[in-house]
Amino acid sequence: MFPTFTIQVPSSVIEGELQKKIDNKTKPLGSLGELERIAFQLGRIQNCVTPDVSKAKMIVFAADHGVVAQGISLFPQEVTPQMVMNFLMGGAAVSVFCEQHSVPLRVVDVGVNAELDEHPLLGARKVAFASKDFSQEAAMTAEQVEQAIQAGVEEVDLAIDDGVNLLMFGEMGIGNTCVSSCMMTALIGMNATDTTGRGTGLDKAGVSHKAHIIEQSLKRAEQATGQLMADWSAQTLAEQVGGFEILAMAGAMLQSAQRHTAFVVDGFICSVALLFAKKMAPHVTEYAVFAHQSNEKAHRILLDNLNAEPILSLDLRLGEGSGAILAYPLIQSSCVFLNRMASFESAGVAESK
């Protein structure tokens, strides 16, 4: 059965008290800019005037994609399990940044095309050894869609039950920018040439080929389903052109929101996962903190569609949660100023007239 989620909009009861506390800090009104917006959002989500993100966790979901057979990536599929091992051994960008900021990292295999050895940081939730080549057939079955989403749900439950109060998500999977662009094209109804970017570094001809494969894949799926992509349900879209790690991230976001826990959205691929999650439960975006605007071509369009204001713009296009963990210290600072900065009254400072 396709999963459903009940997500409530964060309570507005505390908004007045929260805004008053923000405004009464020893600073001109609004002078801490985006930090004030984040503090307000976290306070609403946690329903308190002392939000806390001190126990964060990074979860990276990994999977392979059959469409790689169509030559849409510079890197071979073998890189996915190799990079998973790099994460686990502490050598990847997200690994070293998580270590820098004392954030535990967990890597979840939902569809890597290899047998992976057991490891303390590895979650074994393999749905299949890669999705199918969606240019030729549906990417996955209905049962696999459910399994992938459930993998994200269960990982979030484990984390929150362990006391985690801020979740960050990342991904790994050769070919997943192609999958993400395809999903975005179907979800927003744009032309594939506008949603397709360089990914891991394709040249102009490579990008054009990738856009062609996406257009071909969507036409195949429309013929197979007998429906225009604009009429697809979330389940149909996922079956036809989804990716296991993207669906797992969507499930993780939905469960985070269902459990009233904020989560950090990384770059383009993670934002597509949120776009898909929004199709399932629109209020999920209330719980999302957007880390950065990536260098991937369509990410700004996607952020505008989500009405999102990211914290950073560092020309990143790495994925794997790297932007989310880089934004974490600023998210921490939003709580620190709200919880520890003096008020005009406590500091004996005169307020503006």
What are the beta bridge partners of residue 63?
A: 111
Q: What is the DSSP string of 299-316?
A: HHHHHHHTT---SB----
- Are 311 and 292 in contact, with CB atoms under 8 Å apart? yes
Query: Which two structure tokens, joined as six digits, stand for 94?
Result: 């997200």
| 124 φ/ψ angles, rounded to the nearest 5 degrees | -95, 100
> CA-CA distance, 353 to 323, in Å (whole number)?
40
> CA-CA distance, 347 to 340, in Å (whole number)?
12
Q: How far is CA 287 from CA 253, 282, 304, 324, 325, in A?
A: 8, 11, 17, 14, 17
Local structure of 153: helix, strand or coil: helix
Active site residue 137: no
- Give the alpha-carbon dihedral of 158, 235, 187, 260, to 10 degrees: -30
Active-site residue, selected from the candidate residues 245, 286, 320, 351: 320
Angle between helix 244-258 and 176-184 (nearest 10): 60
> In which region does residue 189 sit, left (phi positive, over 0), alpha (psi from -120 to 50) or beta (all else)?
left
What are the beta bridge partners of residue 199?
A: none
Active site residues: 320
